[in-house]
Amino acid sequence: MMSLKLLSILVSSVLGLGLAIPSYTCIVMGNLDIIRKKGKLSPTDVIFLAKGIVNLLLQCVMSLQGMLYVLSLEIFYIRQIFVFMDTSIYFLTYYSFWLTFWLSAHYCTTITNLSYGFFIWIKRIVSNFLSHLLFLTALGVFIVSAPGFWIAFEESTFQSSKNSTGASVIVLDELFSFFVLANSLGVILPFCLSFLCLVLTSSFLLRHVWRVKNNDSGSTRPNLQAHVTALRTIFFLLLIFTFFCGYQVDIFFQNSPTFLTVCRNLQLLSPSVEAAVIFQASNKLRRIILRRFWRKSRRNTET
């Protein structure tokens, strides 16, 4: 009989895939519709489009891995399949986290208008060279994750076949060092930078609201709804960060099997949850999707 742990992983895998495919298809098609009508995308729409493609692929690979883990565990003994899935998941996850940072940086530099040279530079490159920046980020993440994981697993397999305890300990130490380095560059660094953007943006808005409130001259107060939506978007994306971080920490230290299972299920659902965050952040996408559903419903009622 299937255990509760395996059943929860299977349900999360199927549910995540079932939610992600229609959601990210709408996001990608909505942005393509914007390109067709306007000829170009805003920086936020470019990042949303990239996140839609990356998270859809990530959800597909993660769900496939979860279903194979439950239904056909022996397939993971095929080293090439195991390493390919793991490296793909890490690469897509790291890239999604860096996309979160660039989105946070864009919101921060747009809202705060800080005069420091670093923020002016970030605002300039995000506004003018975003597509090049995303390509270079993908290339850097690939260099950090994919070849390194493949080489590390190759070395561990080769050393384990030699049946040497000393060599195995050295390889385990090297693997642990590599995982720490990769997760530092792929998870911790973008998380800290995104959190810094969140703190700067929220403090700027709080000061701005306080100044308006204490210097009210009867004029119309500015509409801060777009800024609040940006803050809410960064906060929810960083909250999803913590699910992955918790799972990675528990993998290394093996503190609680229950906590590991919960974090694993949350990680399986995190790409589809990010789709909801993108929808609440983009009024244009919501309008396009509602318009399409309205047209389809009218056609169905007419026929």
In the chain, where the domains are located: 4-214+222-297
What's the whole-number mean pLDDT along residues 215-224? 56
At residue 43's C-alpha, the angle toward residues 211 and 143, to 5°, is: 120
| pLDDT at 236 exceeding the cut of 60 | yes
What is the reported pLDDT for 149?
A: 63
Q: Who wins on pLDDT, 245 or 21?
A: 21
Range of weakest confidence among 23-37, 48-62, 192-206, 253-267: 253-267
pLDDT in tens, 153-194: 655 554 444 555 544 455 556 666 777 788 888 888 999 999
pLDDT, one tens digit per residue, over 75-91 is 877 777 777 888 888 89
Is the model more confident about 249 or about 136?
Answer: 136
Q: 119-153: per-residue pLDDT in tens?
A: 777 778 877 888 889 999 999 998 888 766 666 56
Give me 47's structure tokens: 């990042």
Tens digits of per-residue pLDDT, 267-293? 888 888 899 899 888 888 878 777 766
At which residue do the structure tokens 């390109």 appear?
35
What residues contact residue 60 under an 8 Å CB cut-off, 6+ apart? 17, 20
Question: For the domain 4-214+222-297, what is the CATH code?
Answer: 1.20.1070.10
Q: Which two tokens stand for residue 72?
A: 């056909």
- Assign 3-class secondary structure to the chain: CCCHHHHHHHHHHHHHHHHHHHHHHHHHHHHHHHHHHHCCCCHHHHHHHHHHHHHHHHHHHHHHHHHHHHHCHHHHHCHHHHHHHHHHHHHHHHHHHHHHHHHHHHHHHHHHCCCCHHHHHHHHHHHHCHHHHHHHHHHHHHHHHHHHHHHHHHHHHHHHHCCCHHHHHHHHHHHHHHHHHHHHHHHHHHHHHHHHHHHHHHHHHHHHHHHHHHCCCCCCCCCCHHHHHHHHHHHHHHHHHHHHHHHHHHHHHCCCHHHHHHHHHHHHHHHHHHHHHHHHHCHHHHHHHHHHHHHHHHHHHHC
Residue 42 pLDDT exceeds 80: yes
